[in-house]
Amino acid sequence: MGQGSRSNRRVVYETLRRRVLTLELPPGAALSENELAAALGVSRTPVRESLILLGEEGLVRVYPKVGSFVSRVDARRVADAQFLREAVELAALDDLPETLDPDLLAALRDNLAQQREPGLDVERFFELDEAFHHGLLRLSGHGRAWSTVVAAKAHLDRARRLGLHEPDGVDRFAGEHRDILDAMVAGDLAAARSGLRAHLRAVFDDIERTRRRSPELFAADDGPVPARRGVAVRG
């Protein structure tokens, strides 16, 4: 395989993965290799290879003789990813130094201020949320662990985005971020740990609220084979 082919596949894979995680390609959406290839300006080969990779991650599901679909949100996969994330972030609190890095603190305070900006859309808040939690790990000297957390939480991230679309999602999470950081700065690790645990587990309540409203977004143990419904695909 030439360098150009590998580069094409990587770009297509990253593009499709991002669109799945951001819900631009929503759970249950049909994926046409021909339509995706035309929209992305590539041949079908990198699209097919990318869908295979996404299938290995559980983000795409292939039904023989029917086609490929974006996987519905699997609450069990979400729970596994949340378990890993909680274990890492709570463990990091035990390694907080007595004096917190003033530059990191300033960056986190600035991040919190940006989270409160009016008219903030979900994707921008999600970026700030990711940077905030990475910053908390950096305060403890474990910033490099963030890449491991990120690699494990694709299914969790889709559920988190669904929660951010709840009416109070952004404001609620921004307030929790502030309370967690304030507790860390005050040296109240019990409050920081309790607040962080509740904050990370809020995704389960969000899942239940969204499931009641839109059950079609979630996987069932023995769900029916989906019918093909087109989804507009942009280049």
Residue 168 sits in a domain of what CATH number? 1.20.120.530
Strand partners, 26: none
Residue 55 sits in a domain of what CATH number? 1.10.10.10
Which pair of tokens denotes residue 19? Answer: 């669109």
Evaluate whether residue 218 is within a structural domain: no
Shared-domain flag, residues 67 and 150: no
- Which residue, of 72, 87, 118, is where some domain finishes? 72
Domains of the chain: total? 2
- The pLDDT score that the predictor gives to residue 222 is 43
Shared-domain flag, residues 57 and 106: no
- The pLDDT score that the predictor gives to residue 232 is 44
- The pLDDT score that the predictor gives to residue 65 is 83
For 189, list phi and psi in degrees, rounded to 5. Answer: -70, -30
Shared-domain flag, residues 65 and 84: no
Evaluate whether residue 121 is within a structural domain: yes
Evaluate whether residue 219 is within a structural domain: no
- Which residue, of 72, 97, 115, is where some domain finishes? 72
Shared-domain flag, residues 63 and 111: no
Q: Which domain holds residue 190?
A: 75-213
Shared-domain flag, residues 85 and 197: yes
pLDDT in tens, the chain (235 residues): 455 566 788 999 999 999 999 999 999 999 999 999 999 999 999 999 999 999 999 999 988 888 899 999 998 999 999 999 999 999 999 999 999 999 999 999 999 999 999 988 989 999 999 999 999 999 999 999 999 999 989 999 999 998 888 777 788 999 999 999 999 999 999 999 999 999 999 999 988 988 898 898 898 754 554 444 444 445 5
Shared-domain flag, residues 64 and 91: no
Specify the DSSP element, H or E, that contains 72: none
